[in-house]
Amino acid sequence: MRYASVTDRLAGLGGAKWALHYRARAMKAAGHEIIELTIGEPDVPTPARLIEAATRSMASGRTGYSNGRGEPGVVAALAARYSARRGREFARDQIMCLPGTQTVLYAVLRTMAEAGDEVLIGDPMYATYEGLIAQTGAVAVRVPLRPEHGFRMQPADVAARITSRSRVLFLNTPHNPTGAVLRPDDIRALGALAREHDLWILSDEVYEDLVFPNVPFTSPLDLPDLAERTVVASSISKSHAAPGFRSGWCVGPADFCTRLLPLSETMLFGSQPFIGDLTELAVSEHSPVAADMVDRFSRRAEIIARTLDGVGSLRVHRPEAGMFTLVDVRATGLSGSDFAESLLDRHKVAVMPGESFGSGLSGWLRLSLTQPDDRTVEAATRIAAHAASILGNAA
């Protein structure tokens, strides 16, 4: 039988990147005690107030069809939220609601790029980005994100890779997996390149509410001169500890949203009204869980740094936001994948190999910050012991 070419473009770009996580889950199900530092799932349940809102909504009959743009209440709430946060007016026709950030990014990129185009994307990158770009037929042009620059995208590196086929500058701030946050000057310089070369700016800002203390956050939406070319994607998955509800949105130019609407309707023809009602409540208020997550995640990042940084051959990159930290294990002589696989087998600690996030993290590990402090200490201690045993055997 014949298959669409998109299946070839996406081969190996889905769950294969999470193979170690799935193996760890299988070991856990088989009775092994695993310290899981793989995925970015919030460490608290979805707030009861949001669950109750969804329950009331379902009980009142809000279980019928919706529309492709989103329920009027949540669209209005998002327009108000972004107007307040960005200091300028956002209208309802600049909002589109879809099930989760992943679906948003899929649809937005489908609206921006096609075969023959190029999408400029930082490397390392979140594991699904490569597939999101490939599904459009466009080519991902990797822009190195370097440790010496705090993994922040450098305008000179972008400029060196722009061609006549460049269509989209894909940003992620705060960044997964590095926890880097672009500064105002970074955004201005990158925005100037986008204007000069007529590029779309797509900015995934799902970790906006999880920025650590004393770190400034800036969005391309803050700059009115970038308004005609900027689309921001986000959701309640991280900020409100509600990943299972799959509730996301994008904010951008009204004309862009008008063009995106038929694609959304063709894909989904609307999200669930009761989830829209839950999201309306969530985005109308400050998150009741985000501040405490920031406190815990920043504290655990410091725990890992104190335990591992400079111990033996290991180096730790401190994040500025989000729920992950990075450990450089290159001096052990192992790849991130080999280190992570043997760590799981010998010490029952599950971490993500850096290679799952691009060649820019070859020889690194990504550790989630979602385990309790004592388990985080224990995991870091086991990682240090594993590195010591590798270096001892090499000697």
What gap in Å lies between CA 311 and CA 389, rounded to an integer? 13
Q: Which residue has the higher pLDDT, 206 or 393?
A: 206
Q: Is the pLDDT of residue 99 over 90?
A: yes
* Contacts of 264 by beta carbon, 8 Å cutoff, 6+ apart: 68, 69, 96, 98, 107
Rounded average pLDDT over 180-198: 98
Q: Give me the residue spans of the domains in the chain.
A: 5-45+289-394, 48-284
Q: What is the pTM for the complete model shown?
A: 0.96
* The pLDDT value given to residue 394: 58
Residues 6 or more apart whose CB falls under 8 angstroms from that of 19 comprise: none
* Residue range 349-359: mean pLDDT, rounded: 96
Using the predicted structure, report yes or no on whether residue 151 has a pLDDT greater than 60: yes
Question: Are the C-beta atoms of 183 and 296 separated by less than 8 Å?
Answer: no
Reduced to 3 states (helix: H, G, I; strand: E, B; else coil), residue 345 is helix
Which letter, b or e, does each residue of 26-35 get, where b requires 16 or more Cβ atoms within 10 Å of its Cβ?
Answer: ebeeeeeebb
Gyration radius (Cα) of the chain, Å: 21
Q: How far apart are CA 112 and CA 119, in angstroms?
A: 10
Q: Which of 5-9, 10-14, 103-107, 324-328 has the lowest mean pLDDT?
A: 10-14
The whole-number average pLDDT for the span 176-205 is 98
**∠ at Cα 322 (318, 323), nearest 5°?**
80
Average pLDDT, stretch 75-98? Answer: 96
Tokens of 76: 């209005």
Whether the per-residue pLDDT at 37 is higher than 80: the answer is yes
pLDDT score of 392 more than 80: no
Token pair in block for residue 183: 């500064």
Can you read off the two tokens belonging to residue 217? 């956050």
Mean pLDDT of 61-84: 95
pLDDT in the model for residue 345: 97
CATH topology of domain 5-45+289-394: Aspartate Aminotransferase, domain 1 (3.90.1150)
Residue 123 reports pLDDT greater than 80? yes
- Which stretches does DSSP call E strand in the chain? 35-37, 95-98, 118-123, 139-144, 166-172, 200-204, 230-235, 248-251, 315-317, 324-328, 349-353, 364-368
Average pLDDT of the chain is 96
Mean pLDDT over residues 199-223, rounded?
97
**Exposed/middle/buried for 378, CB within 10 Å: 0-12, 13-18, 19+?**
middle
Query: Using 50, 70 and 90 to split pLDDT, how confident is the model at 168?
Result: very high
Whole-angstrom CA distances from 280 to 88, 235, 247, 284 are: 20, 12, 10, 6
Question: Is residue 320 a contact partner of residue 174, using CB atoms and an 8 Å limit?
Answer: yes
CATH of domain 48-284: 3.40.640.10
Q: Which residues pair with 132 in a beta bridge?
A: none
Query: Residues 6 or more apart from 382 whose CB is under 8 A from it?
Result: 35, 343, 347, 348, 349
Mean pLDDT of 1-22: 90
Mean pLDDT computed over 76-100 = 96
Strands 118-123 and 166-172: parallel
Q: How far apart are CA 241 and CA 293, in angstroms?
A: 9
The predicted pLDDT at position 12 comes to 84
Residue 82 CA to residue 201 CA, distance in Å, equals 17
Check whether 190 has a pLDDT greater than 80: yes
pLDDT at 170 over 60: yes
How far is residue 154's CA from residue 186's CA, in Å, rounded to a whole number?
A: 7
Between 6-15, 36-45, 261-270, the lowest mean confidence (pLDDT) is in 6-15
Cβ–Cβ < 8 Å for 326, 178: yes
What is the pLDDT confidence band of residue 312, given thresholds at 50, 70 and 90? confident
Whether the pLDDT of residue 391 is over 90: the answer is no
**What would the mean pLDDT of 366-386 be, rounded to a whole number?**
97
Report the SS3 class of residue 346: helix
* Span 280-306, average pLDDT: 97
CA atoms within 13 A on the CB side of 393: 8
The pLDDT, as a whole number, for residue 6 is: 92
Q: Which residues pair with 233 in a beta bridge?
A: 204, 250
Q: Which of 14-28, 141-155, 165-179, 236-250 has the lowest mean pLDDT?
A: 14-28
Confidence of residue 116 (pLDDT cuts 50, 70, 90): very high
Is 360 a residue whose pLDDT tops 60? yes
Banded pLDDT at 29 (limits 50, 70, 90): very high
pLDDT value at 334 more than 80:
yes
List the structure tokens of 389: 């045993």
Residue 395 confidence (pLDDT) above 80: no
Per-residue pLDDT, averaged over 293-297, amounts to 98
